[in-house]
Amino acid sequence: MKLRRLLPAAALFAVLLPAQGLDPAALTLFHQPPNVWPTYNGDYSGRRYSSLDQITQSNIGSLKIDWMYRITSVGPQRGVGGPTIKSTPLMVDGILYFTIPDHIFALSARTGQELWHYGFEDKGGHLTGQRGVGMYRDWLYFETPDGWFISLDAKTGKERWRKKIADEKLQYFTTMAPLIVKNHVLVGVGGDAMDVKGYLESRDPETGDLQWRWYTTPVKMGDPGSETWPNQDAMDHGGGMTWMPGTYDPELNLIYWGTGNANPVFAGQARKGANLWTASIVALNPDTGKLVWYFQASPHDTHDWDNVETPVLFDAVIDGRPRKLLAQGSRAGWFFVLDRTNGHNLVSKPFAGTGNWAKGVDSRGQPIPDPAKEPQTNGSLIDMPALGATNWPPPSYDPKTGLFYLNATLGFGLSYLYDTSPHPQGYGGGGGGNFDTHSALLAMDVRTGVIRWRHEHGQDGSTGMSGGILTTAGDLLFTGDSGELVAFDPANGKPLWRQRLPLPVSNGPATWMLDGRQYLIAGAGDTLYALTLAR
């Protein structure tokens, strides 16, 4: 462990002394305090909607960069090049905490001055990304690429303890921002190179000790869900990773999590069946880890369509009565709305193409895969990108418009199968390629799944929509757009303001109040930008 302080110790102490840490009361479903961004998504709902309205459509022209912080102390990272900020910073007591793989930074939210920097030397993990930290009182929680779960003192950056949660020798890797629910720190895993099974863990915030572990495939034949697998071996190597943070409803006491694709990824002939609970949304009791309900977005997935996209929670009146709902824009190109109390389906509608990889939906609203659209030795054509219609960058839901927003990739895909053996092993067994693709910002009606408006781009896959989405009570939607940070009107998609950046937006933007000023924070490559209204 390496800890680097930019400020002298005495000055650092003076800066941090007033901090009281994160009050657990700030972790709520919908009511986020204005002067804090306490979780990866801002609150438990995953809506990424802020009630702040100091920055509005009428004054957005005065929004300017107030400060920027560029990572200069970390060189190119193994296998991924220069540092890229994919995390959403937490902001507590005037301090920002954000990450890249193997590193945590604490900055003054007022000036962008570095307060401390924690560095970790991993032993072979995949440095594909890092989504951020979790926080409980004065403690931070962080996952390293090679499977360590680490707690730091938020005031000093000093390591408190570390626990091993995944074996990098089995090609597990860990990238998610931990989610704190009551006295549970929820941590997930990634990795499908060696056909391992996924799991979600709850850890004690005081000690890091394991409280429970839930596997994303059944433990043994005869258990519920095992009927969707042909045998024990297929289940034991079945995948279903949990590499993005979920959401939580305190009233129902349920956590909602997305699970990854089944393994082997493209060659599914040795795992006939739906392969529960891969490529699904699951609702678990956070105190026990017991499964309460599930909904499978891509049964028997053979396209690498991780279903880890945020399960967004919101309340709305449907058919004249208030409903507790969950919406997800899935990587499989379908938009779903569920009753989050029981998983009952209200909407299943493709947003990319016609959803022609499926024959339709079953009685639960789950797509029914068409075997003819699975990877084939001579290629199989689908009318959405073969590698997915969206990915991990977070969506948003605006309760004022009743619309769900996500950045999508549209076009066509070809999927190939090259391992036709009865029992394929290893990561792939096939592959896919996209063509005629373009990106688009989509706004979907949560009651029908109809796309109310879209902002589209051209054919160059290196440009277009980027990063996640934030909506605010100032009637603004922020996201990345062809190397710019852009504000749209969330009601109709009209661009209202744009800020050119050297690199595309690479994280989910966030907002908070500090000293009476509303700030917007966004990462683009190796630099964090803080914007506020010009004085």
The whole-number average pLDDT for the span 21-45 is 91
Domains of the chain: 2-18+36-419+439-533 (2.140.10.10)
Q: Which helix (H) or strand (E) holds 184?
A: strand 184-188
Look at residue 297 and tell me whether its pLDDT is greater than 60: yes
Answer whether 351's CB lies under 8 Å from 444's CB.
yes
| pLDDT band for position 15 (cuts 50, 70, 90) | very low
Q: What is the structure's pLDDT at 26?
A: 83
Q: Per-residue pLDDT for 461 more than 80? A: no
pLDDT of residue 452: 98
Helices then strands, counting H and E runs in the chain, come out as: 2, 37
More reliable by pLDDT, 458 or 246: 246
Question: Do residues 193 and 184 touch, judged by C-beta distance below 8 A?
Answer: no
Given the residues 249, 304, 398, 475, select the one marked as catalytic: 304
- Selected residue with higher pLDDT from 319 and 272: 272
Residue-wise pLDDT for 271-288, tens only, equals 999 999 999 999 999 999
Q: Which residues lie closer than 8 Å to 257 by C-beta, 6 or more apart?
A: 188, 200, 242, 246, 281, 282, 284, 311
Q: Is the pLDDT of residue 16 over 70?
A: no
Q: What residue type is assigned to position 223 of the chain?
A: D
pLDDT (0 to 100) of residue 179 = 97
Over residues 71-93, the mean pLDDT reads 92
Query: What would the pLDDT profile of 507-523 be if each residue is shown by its tens digit?
Result: 999 999 999 999 999 99
Beta-bridge partner residues of 514: 517
**According to the model, what pLDDT value does residue 289 have?**
98
Whether 330 has a pLDDT exceeding 90, the answer reads: yes
Query: What pLDDT score does 4 carry?
Result: 53
Q: Residue 248: name the closest of 286, 214, 291, 280 by CA.
A: 286
304 is catalytic: yes
Asked if pLDDT for residue 75 goes beyond 90, the answer is no
Tens-digit pLDDT profile for residues 138-193 = 999 999 999 999 999 999 999 999 999 998 888 888 999 999 999 999 999 998 77
What pLDDT score does 96 carry?
A: 98
pTM recorded for the entire structure: 0.95
